[in-house]
Amino acid sequence: MPNNNNNESGLVTKAINILRETRTGTVAPFDINKQCPVTVVINRVDWEKWFLDEQTRTFCTFYYRTGGDARAKNDAFINKFGPHDQPHDDNANQQVEHVGKKRGRPTVLNFHQVYVCHRSGAPKQYVRNLERAPLGCNCTSTIKVHCYGDNPLKMHIEYNWQHTGHDLGSSADMQSIPAGRSARQLIEAMIDEEMTWKSISHAIRVDRAELERIKMSNYKQLPAIKKISYDMVYYAMRRAIKRRSQLGRSLRESLEKWGEKISSEEGAYHYNNNMNDI
């Protein structure tokens, strides 16, 4: 990859600034009356943005934990009423579809999902680093979403927003959370723009003024960009190289597509169909 520090697009620069400006600190309660859990009703088209914004606000990642036969029913719901970003209501033109019966009464097609805090597991001490706090702390914060077939354009969010066992926004808590989707997307964008590790590390470095602000806050306000590690960049580069080199799911399919690509560019290649000779 060519080393060019000037090939950062406006999108990459904007993403870097967002991660630099996002800092640890006190996270305000979700409900000003401190009612928990709380139910919020929003348009289904706004659900994914709401979910991402809440994770960004709380410096927390929620993992998908929907079990049982709900996944199959959710797929049927999406097939009937459309994806979240393009929902539609078929009830106006046809009867409600019944997918089962309970106590003799029909059950309409509904959508249910469950998400739990990334620290919901039981504490487990790290063997190689005894000083590092365990990731799991039995946190009980959950997000349960429901969308009903009689009104598929609305999403009901049952949010248990009070976390237990850890302090949201603290520097200690930030050390335990995954880097987040924003950081991963930023690294992938940098790699797609042919930036090397040297140019990436230069772009995400923290300047002296930022270090002074961190010190003045007694290390309680850390920028989210500090979650980007060498390992994250390494694995992102590895995935990018794999994605570019493997054009197919299997070795045979990949080689065939490479041959087609070479031929389309007026090149020459020799392909032996006997995989044992490769």
pLDDT number for residue 141:
95
Q: Are residues 256 and 135 in the same domain?
A: no
Q: Return the structure tokens found at 130.
A: 């005894």
pLDDT number for residue 23:
56
**How many angstroms separate the CA atoms of 113 and 65, rounded?**
8
CA 81 to chain centre: 24
The total domain count for the chain is 2
- The DSSP element (H or E) to which 204 belongs, if any, is none
Residues of the chain above pLDDT 70, percent: 61
**How many angstroms separate the CA atoms of 63 and 118, rounded?**
6
Within a domain: 178: no
Mean pLDDT of 28-45: 90
Better pLDDT: 113 or 223: 113
Give the confidence band of 6 by pLDDT, cuts at 50, 70, 90: very low
Mean pLDDT of 43-67: 89
**How many angstroms separate the CA atoms of 176 and 172, rounded?**
7
Better pLDDT: 47 or 248: 47
Give the confidence band of 103 by pLDDT, cuts at 50, 70, 90: low
Within a domain: 213: no
Domain range for 251 is 246-277
Within a domain: 52: yes
Q: Where are the beta strands (DSSP E) in the chain?
A: 38-43, 62-64, 98-102, 105-108, 111-117, 142-147, 154-160
Q: Are residues 148 and 37 in the same domain?
A: yes
3-state SS assignment for residue 37? coil
Within a domain: 17: no
Q: Are residues 158 and 264 in the same domain?
A: no
What single-letter amino acid sits at 95?
Q
CB-based contacts of 146, cutoff 8 Å, min separation 6: 110, 111, 112, 155, 156, 158
Give the confidence band of 183 by pLDDT, cuts at 50, 70, 90: low
Block residue for tokens 């998400």: 115
Q: Are residues 125 and 34 in the same domain?
A: yes
Q: Is the confidence at residue 158, as pLDDT, over 60? A: yes
Within a domain: 186: no
pLDDT number for residue 136:
82
Of 138, 168, 198, the residue that ends a domain is 168
Q: Is the separation of the CB atoms in 248 and 257 below 8 Å?
A: yes
Q: How many CB atoms lie within 10 A of CB 274?
A: 6
Cα dihedral sign, 178-38-75-81: negative
Within a domain: 219: no
Within a domain: 191: no
pLDDT digits (tens, 9 = 90+) for 10-19: 555 655 555 5
Q: Are residues 55 and 141 in the same domain?
A: yes
Q: Are residues 164 and 250 in the same domain?
A: no
pLDDT digits (tens, 9 = 90+) for 228-249: 666 667 777 777 777 777 777 7
Q: How many CB atoms lie within 10 A of CB 130?
A: 7
Q: Are residues 34 and 162 in the same domain?
A: yes
Q: Is the confidence at residue 125, as pLDDT, over 80? A: no
pLDDT number for residue 7:
44
Judged on CB neighbours under 10 Å (0-12, 13-18, 19+), 114 is middle
Within a domain: 103: yes
Q: Are residues 264 and 155 in the same domain?
A: no
Of 140, 168, 196, the residue that ends a domain is 168
Q: Are residues 150 and 267 in the same domain?
A: no
pLDDT mean across residues, the chain? 75
Of 146, 168, 190, the residue that ends a domain is 168
Q: Is the separation of the CB atoms in 263 and 269 below 8 Å?
A: yes
